[in-house]
């Protein structure tokens, strides 16, 4: 039996908060590995234009290259239509029913878990791992039958929203994203056209 972490997100772009969340969740819960799963077309972000998923994936691969026990996954890349975490959880569970799945979410995402599509899939097939996020109050369990763990990381007031703004303005990204991911972002000219 494997203890499998699943860390989904838009990663538009990946940043040091994501790195800290993934490795600290792995450590705190003794996870055998963590899958970092970029959403191709996140249903909660239908109103905004995202960087192409292959660019987001390339930055993620650069960011997590050489990080022990963490793998970037293509699980949500080929599924048509809006991306739902419930589909991914069901797929992972069906592929390896003996694994124990830990769904890693930041405190902001954790507070609206019950509004996600088919929340009972997350409740019944995963343990939710809530990672602290700077300036965000930590929610409790979404309901009585949920399994929840909490992981505290040093507060990193970093967000992809701020990084997109910085990239568009030509402001420095150093210290906020892994250097290899910054190189990838710059080589591909990402976010240059956003104001």
| Contacting residues toward ligand ATP, per CB under 6 A | 9-12, 17-18, 21, 105-106, 108-109, 131, 133-134, 156, 158-161
Determine phi and psi for 81, rounding to 5 degrees.
Answer: 80, 180
- List phi, psi (to 5°) of 56: -65, -40
Alpha carbon of residue 88 to chain centroid: 13
Minimum distance, C-beta of residue 120 to ligand ATP, in the bound complex (Å): 20
* Residue 126: CB minimum distance to ligand ATP, A: 13
Indicate the helix (H) or strand (E) that contains 98.
none
Nearer to ligand ATP, 28 or 134 (CB): 134
Work out how close the CB of 15 gets to ligand ATP at its nearest, in angstroms, rounded to a whole number: 6
Under DSSP, the state recorded for 103 is E
- Least CB distance from residue 18 to ligand ATP, whole Å? 5
**CA 184 centroid distance within chain:** 19
Taking CB atoms, the residue at the shortest distance from ligand ATP is 106
Residue 97 or 174 having the CB closest to ligand ATP: 174
DSSP 131: E
């Amino acid at each position: 039996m494997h203890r499998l972490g699943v860390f989904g997100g838009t990663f538009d772009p990946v940043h040091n908060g994501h790195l800290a969340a993934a490795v600290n969740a792995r450590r705190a819960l003794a996870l055998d590995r963590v899958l970092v799963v970029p959403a191709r077309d996140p249903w909660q972000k239908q109103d905004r234009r995202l960087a192409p998923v292959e660019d987001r994936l390339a930055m993620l691969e650069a960011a997590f290259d050489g990080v022990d026990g963490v793998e970037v996954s293509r699980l949500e890349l080929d599924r048509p239509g809006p991306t739902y975490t419930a589909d991914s959880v069901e797929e992972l569970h069906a592929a390896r029913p003996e694994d124990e799945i830990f769904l890693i979410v930041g405190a902001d995402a954790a507070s609206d878990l019950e509004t996600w599509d088919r929340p009972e899939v997350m409740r019944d097939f995963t343990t939710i791992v809530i990672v602290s996020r700077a300036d965000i109050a930590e929610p409790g369990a979404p309901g009585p039958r949920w399994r929840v763990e909490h992981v505290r990381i040093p507060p990193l007031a970093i967000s992809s929203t701020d990084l997109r703004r910085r990239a568009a303005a030509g402001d420095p990204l150093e210290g906020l994203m892994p250097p290899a991911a910054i190189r990838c972002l710059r080589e591909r000219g990402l976010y240059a056209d956003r104001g």
